[in-house]
């Protein structure tokens, strides 16, 4: 049963993602396929989770409308630019999808099945030569185990950009950073 005023109904989730010991979160460039890490940004995770919730029929509003758009960044290896939500690793995408499925989809399917069972029940209708009997039998969908994200290894080296003061973690052997991951400014090599 839907609430009379659905605007007053809020759903809160406690999503936990793994970071390394320095609070960096792993991303993968969709262009070159290399991994790098940025400091965790809850707004970007909220945006990513919101997009998966929308696919399940829930429309989520960001808490802070000023930060309604996900951050755009550049790959430190190939300078490809995109939103951070488009650079999540396959592991993170799978985790978020499984989380939404467990916390939203399964409860909603169980509610719909219960409502259908109450509506249809063991309805019988007769009127003349024919008799129609409809039975609705269902079994409740069991909740899967809560998904876990991580653990995140403490790999990569930290690079601090002088243009904006922000940090990124890149592969130990990589020395070809040409642009700032965050503002896109050309990096001066000394």
pLDDT tens column, 152-161: 888 999 999 9
Helix-strand-coil percent breakdown of the chain, rounded to 5?
30, 15, 55
CA–CA distance, 35 with 75 (Å, rounded to integer): 9
- The pLDDT-based confidence of 8 (bands split at 50, 70, 90) is very low
* Predicted confidence (pLDDT) per residue in 12-63, tens digit: 667 778 889 999 999 999 999 999 999 987 777 777 777 777 776 666 655 5
Q: Tell whether the torsion through CA atoms of 69, 50, 79 and 31 is positive or negative.
A: negative
Give the best-scoring range by mean pLDDT among 74-83, 103-112, 134-143. 74-83
Residue with more model confidence, 1 or 76: 76
Please state the domain extents for the chain. 6-170
| Average pLDDT value for residue range 81-91 | 90
Give me the phi and psi of 132, to 5 degrees please: -110, 130
Q: For residue 139, what is the enclosing H or E element?
A: none
Distances (CA, A) of 42 to 70, 147, 171: 10, 19, 24
Q: What is the DSSP letter of 104?
A: I
Give the three-class secondary structure for 106.
helix
């Amino acid at each position: 049963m839907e609430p009379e005023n659905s605007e007053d109904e809020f759903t809160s989730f406690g999503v936990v993602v793994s970071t390394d010991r320095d609070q960096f979160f792993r991303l993968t460039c969709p262009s070159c396929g290399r991994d790098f890490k940025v400091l965790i940004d809850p707004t970007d995770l909220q945006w990513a989770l919101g997009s998966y919730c929308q696919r399940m029929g829930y429309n989520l509003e960001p808490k802070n409308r000023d930060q309604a758009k996900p951050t755009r960044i550049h790959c430190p290896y190939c300078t490809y630019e995109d939103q951070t939500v488009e650079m999540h690793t396959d592991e993170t995408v799978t985790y978020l999808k499984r989380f939404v499925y467990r916390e939203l989809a399964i409860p909603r399917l169980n509610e719909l099945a219960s409502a259908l069972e109450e509506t249809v029940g063991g309805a019988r209708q007769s009127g003349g030569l024919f008799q129609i009997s409809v039975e609705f039998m269902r079994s409740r969908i069991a909740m899967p185990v809560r998904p876990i994200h991580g653990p995140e290894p403490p790999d990569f080296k930290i690079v601090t950009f002088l243009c904006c003061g922000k940090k990124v973690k890149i592969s130990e052997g990589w020395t070809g950073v040409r642009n700032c991951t965050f503002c896109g400014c050309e990096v001066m090599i000394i």
